Chains A and B, each alone.
Chain A
Amino acid sequence: AQSVAQPEDQVNVAEGNPLTVKCTYSVSGNPYLFWYVQYPNRGLQFLLKYITGDNLVKGSYGFEAEFNKSQTSFHLKKPSALVSDSALYFCAVSSTSGTYKYIFGTGTRLKVLA
Chain B
Amino acid sequence: EAGVTQFPSHSVIEKGQTVTLRCDPISGHDNLYWYRRVMGKEIKFLLHFVKESKQDESGMPNNRFLAERTGGTYSTLKVQPAELEDSGVYFCASSHPGPGDEKLFFGSGTQLSVL
Contact = CB atoms under 8 A, between A and B. Distances in A.
Contacts of A106: 40-42
B39 to A, nearest CB: 11
Interface of B: 3-4, 33, 35, 40-45, 48, 55-56, 58-59, 91, 93, 99-101, 103-109
Interface in A1-37: 4, 9, 32, 34, 36
Interface size class of A (residues with CB under 8 A): 20 to 34
Interface string A75-114: 0000000000000001010111001111111110000000
Nearest to A48: B103
A41 B108 CA distance: 7
A32 B56 CA distance: 18
A107 B43 contact: yes
Interface centre among B35, B44, B103, B108 (most CB of A within 10 A): B103
Question: Which 3 residue pairs spanning A and B have beta carbons closest together?
Answer: A100-B100, A43-B106, A104-B43
Contacts of A56: none
B106 A103 contact: no
B48 A99 contact: yes
B43 A45 contact: no
A82 to B, nearest CB: 23
B100 A95 contact: yes
A101 to B, nearest CB: 5
B56 A104 contact: no
B45 A101 contact: yes
A4 B42 CA distance: 9
Given A94-B101, A104-B44, 17 more contacts: A32-B101, A36-B104, A42-B108, A43-B109, A46-B103, A46-B104, A49-B103, A95-B100, A99-B55, A101-B33, A101-B45, A101-B59, A104-B42, A104-B45, A106-B40, A106-B41, A107-B43
